[in-house]
Structure formats: C-alpha cells, structure tokens
Amino acid sequence: MRDRLADDLVRKKHWQLIALCAAIIAGGLACSWWQGNFMPLARSGALLTAASIIHAWRSLRWSRMMVDVEKVVIDIFTKIERDKLTGLDADTQAVVNAVERVSSRMPGLITAVERRFVADHLLVGFIGTLLWGFADLIPFP
C-alpha cells in the first residue's frame, strides 16, 4: 500500500524527468547528425547529469516540505478524532490518537518516496555520465 502511494506521489515528476531526458538525448542526436560527429551527444550527456542534480534538489525540497505536510495531516486527524470522542479529556485523547496514526505511517511513506526519487536521479545521472564520457568515442557512419 505504501509503495503504491509513493508511486502515485512521484509519478508526475518521474514522467517529467523521462520527457526531459528524451528531449535532451533527441536534441543531442539531432545536433550530432547535423554536425557529422557525436560531440553534441556527449554534451547532452552533461545536460543529463545536470538534470539529475536538479532532480536531486527537487527531492530534497520535497523531503523538507513533508514535515509541514505531516503537521497538517495531524491537525486534520485531530479534528476527525475529536468528533468521535466525548468527555473531559477528548481533546487530549484526539491529539494522541492523531499523532499515533500519522506517526506510524508517514515516515515509511516519506522513505518510500525518497527511494523513488533517488532511483530516478541515479539512473539519469548514470546515463548522462556515460554519454558525457563516451559518446564522442562512437564512430560516426
């Protein structure tokens, strides 16, 4: 369940990264064809590596944002729990129940999403580094 939710949260950024990478590689191939060598393809590998670094920065921003999201989710669950409980200590018990429910789920979700982000930017960085380092060695037909 947690992995599926993590996939849903990352899907849009994942496809944006894939589209950007495809456009960079296509542009590098087109420029290479136009110039008659694979030097521009090697430079597109450098752009892919830069895209990987930007993607890593986005994932770091996302991780920092999730602390605030967790607080909002706790507030929402506190209101829901408060409606279920009655008595003098209903407010205190509602907060305890909400923190317990959210704290048991959010860290695992955050970790799963971070894992997806890391996998994406490592793959893009790997492909970019290979192109950057070796694309100019490919003999042009």
Q: Tell me the per-residue pLDDT of 6-41, one tens digit each, with 9 for 90 and over.
A: 777 778 888 888 899 999 999 999 999 999 888 999
CA distance 132 to 129: 5
Q: Tell me the per-residue pLDDT of 41-98, one tens digit each, with 9 for 90 and over.
A: 999 999 999 988 888 887 778 777 777 777 887 888 788 777 777 777 777 877 787 7
- Going by the DSSP 8-state scheme, the letter that residue 87 receives in this structure is S
pLDDT over threshold 70, residue 134: yes
CA-based angle 21:43:51, to the nearest 5? 35
pLDDT number for residue 1: 56
pLDDT over threshold 90, residue 116: no
Domain count, the chain: 1
Q: What is the pTM of this model?
A: 0.69
pLDDT number for residue 108: 79
The mean per-residue pLDDT over the stretch 120-130 comes to: 90
The residue ranking higher by pLDDT, 115 or 32, is 32
Residues contacting residue 88 through CB under 8 Å, at least 6 positions apart:
none
- Going by the DSSP 8-state scheme, the letter that residue 36 receives in this structure is T
The mean per-residue pLDDT over the stretch 96-124 comes to: 80
Contact 136, 38 (CB under 8 A): yes
Q: Which residue range forms the structural domain that includes residue 15?
A: 2-137
pLDDT number for residue 26: 95
Residue that has been written with the tokens 């921003």 in this structure? 61
What sign has the CA pseudo-torsion 54, 58, 60, 64? positive
In sequence order, what E strands does the chain have? none
pLDDT over threshold 90, residue 126: yes
